[in-house]
A and B are shown apart, each in its own frame.
Chain A
Amino acid sequence: MDILISLSDPALLLTIVVCTLYGSLIGALPGLSATMAVALLVPFTFYMDPVQAITAIVATTSTAIFAGDISGALLRIPGTPASAAYVADSATIAHNGRPRTVLFVDLFTSAAGGIIGVIVLSLATPMLARFATNFSSYEMFWLAALGLSCAVFVAGASPPKTFASLFIGLAIACVGIDVAVGMPRYTFGFYDLFDGVDFISAMIGFFALTELFRAAVERDGIGKAVLPTVVEPVRRAIADGWKISCAHWKHVLRSSPVGVIIGVLPGAGSDVAAWVTYALSRKLSKTPEKYGNGHMEGIIDAGSSNNAAVAGAWTPALVFGIPGDSVTAIAIGVLMMKGLAPGPDIFERSGDVVYTLFGAFLLSNVIMVFTGGIAILLASQLLRMPRRLLMPLILGLSLIGGFAVMNSVFSIWIIIALGVLGYLMILGGIPIAPAILGVVLGKTLEQNFMTSMIKSQGEFLPFFSRDISMVLGVATILIWGLCLLQGVRTIISPGPASKNEENPT
């Protein structure tokens, strides 16, 4: 009862409304991450009570992960890495005249994913946290390797080109100081490259700049025959969005728990959750060929799981004080500042606060539906702009967004370089999405591999010596083996897969 009373506190509701609006802005602007948003909230939390402070963080992050889809669908630039997996689908649907429908589907399923995440969190937090503590560098290495195999399922191109893209992404991830010996690699003497290429800069370069280059080339298409971009009426969009979301309830129900578990694991968050569930969704679908060309199923699976992962990241933070990601790292600081030291007994010590926290989590996801809806309506006005005006706007947003990541003009050089690279890849028929996955997972993969090698002193056997690591390792090797076999087969005998792209000459 106390929990309900504290939840109906108008100050708390106001906090949630303001923070979901704030989160929408952050998420929709490329370059601004949820981490930055939360770091800026910290000074305000000094003046809040514990529940209000944590609620502010939760509301901001959940909405930011959803709002990343807004710019993904409307501008083909994912606002956060968690939206990168299905940006091709959502942007295609938006381009075909249903931008609001796809965003409302996204909003409804994101909220549902978030709510399922909270329910799992409130039922199984201590158990999940205990599970997460079993993950050492061996398990994380296998997990990252498994995550990379998603690229093969996600991209629609021929296997060699998918692999080429993946390796380009991994090569980008090699830039910077290495983990094992602390040596700068491929930095050409630039200090700004020591930390590697941030994946937000990579995304902006790969998606936004390539889009601009494409537009620059087809000037005639932009100048005269402006596509009258259709934006469907709001009412129909909401009704359709609701109908589609309800029709796919099974997808939400199966992907959200996967998202929670990935969120619980250290070092893997919403972005990995989205990739994995998108790949799973395509693998399990009856119509895998539609993925990447504007299919709702992948958006629903990945969109709900990345919001569920937001909740998952809180379990190790609450129970062991180990942050699941950089957002929860800040949140732990705030928790301790409010006298709520994390620990396995946090439910006994401060049960009321924790359950109120879960309630606030739930409420944030509900209120997000309304504030997120407003954000969709405002943002979709952008599509009414002629493209010749939209393009400069995208450029300004991308460059300043990139600057915000590093606080340095150097990010502009990185964005140009990656934009050119991305454009060359498009010309060469190489898909972009696997490269992004490579950039996201490359550092994790190498770090955990080198850490494991140092621990095992160069032996491979310890990679399989633990229960979970053995299961993950065998699964990874099987899946990669199958992928490679498939790839080799298409080369030896050009089968139906490669025939698809053949042009009669």
Chain B
Amino acid sequence: MKKTAFAAVAIVATALSSTAFAACEWKPERPVTLIVPWGAGGTTDLNSRQMATLLQQHFGVPFNVVNRTGGNGVTGHTAISQSRPDGYTIGAASVEINTMHWFGLTPLTYTDITPIALINQPAASVLVAKDSEFQTIGQILDHARANPGELTASGTSLGGIWHLALAGMLNAEGLDPQAIRWVPSQGSASALQELLAGGVDMVTPSLDEGKALIDAGEVRAVSYMSDKPSEFAPDVPLTATELESGWTLAAYTTISGPADLPEEITCSYEAAIQDIVASPEWAAFRQSLGAPVVWGDAAQLSALMTSYDESLGGTIKAIGMAKEQ
């Protein structure tokens, strides 16, 4: 993901020239629907609902969250992409927009939605039970190299972003991506349950999803797949410095619009969300989740999606899960 910087600069330049013509003064006059491709109670849902509440205050019209779950995100993302581009339907598109087309689940790609803003970018982590023999990520990788297929890991469904985090790391470190076997789970919560019950050796969700159990001392964070230490657990070693490949991976949540959303509407939302993300309410909310405030404008988000699509596609191909369309 190091190539991103150049691409971002180029896109920022073009984006700037196009925003110059838009006044960014569009305002919704009736209720807006915010589509969330994931179920109520998850991280994406929680962030989206808070964002909807604050958008409602900002614009003075109701912002209704609608959970369109299904098909590992296919249903919801398709719904976002295909809604009428009038600004009255937006959605919380997430990193899966960059993965599901590689699995052959849908022809939909990131070019079929209009990026507005990046609001969350949680990096993966490696968590083990408190009595685990492993202290460092190096020990885990050495063990997996010597005994491929012996260790198990969990965190999400097969091909889910936390699975790609693990398989991609193994691949980048020159191991067989299956050297640690992936045990699919219904989500981070049930994976953590498996870890506590001794059913798997490690889980790889985002660090904040394991925060409660880390604080409780039931689970140890061995590694954080980022190049910047977490504000809330600064002592967790980073993969960027510990590993030779410098592997990092973070999921992301956005606010995006349907395909062909007019520039006027896009930049109006972008400005509103920028104000909200800078507000103390949002900061307090993010603090309570154990996550930092994240912000990326439409141009940065667009660049991010492009680079993710390439790198995640590489990982998916490397682990043999890519399918021809």
Contact = CB atoms under 8 A, between A and B. Distances in A.
Check A-B contact in the complex, CB < 8 A: yes
Interface string A436-468: 000000000001001100110100000000000
Interface in B147-164: 149, 152, 157-159
A435 to B, nearest CB: 22
Interface in B171-217: 181-186, 189-190, 192-194, 196-200, 211-213, 215-217
Contacts of A35: 40-41
A454 B75 CA distance: 27
A365 to B, nearest CB: 23
B271 interface: no
Contacts, number: 156
B183 A454 contact: yes
B190 A321 contact: no
A137 B194 contact: yes
A336 B212 contact: yes
B136 to A, nearest CB: 24
A179 B152 contact: no
Interface in A402-419: 406-408
A408 B70 CA distance: 12
A267 interface: yes
Contacts of B40: 35-36, 38-39, 326, 330
Contacts of A336: 211-212, 288-290
B67 interface: yes
B39 interface: yes
Contacts of A184: 71, 105
B189 A194 contact: no
Contact of A333 (B41, B79, B181, B198): B41
Contact of B184 (A139, A180, A266): A180
A242 interface: no
B101 interface: no
Contacts of B183: 137, 451, 454-455
24 contacts: A39-B41, A42-B46, A42-B49, A43-B49, A135-B193, A136-B199, A137-B183, A137-B199, A176-B70, A182-B105, A191-B78, A193-B70, A194-B105, A195-B69, A195-B70, A321-B211, A321-B216, A322-B193, A332-B212, A333-B46, A336-B289, A341-B215, A407-B68, A455-B183
Given A182-B159, A342-B212, A344-B216, 18 more contacts: A36-B40, A38-B40, A39-B49, A39-B67, A180-B184, A182-B184, A194-B75, A195-B71, A316-B193, A329-B42, A332-B212, A333-B46, A333-B289, A336-B211, A336-B290, A407-B67, A407-B68, A408-B68
Interface of A: 35-36, 38-39, 42-43, 46, 133-139, 176-177, 179-182, 184, 191-195, 266-267, 316, 319-323, 326-327, 329-330, 332-333, 336-339, 341-345, 406-408, 447, 450-451, 454-455, 457
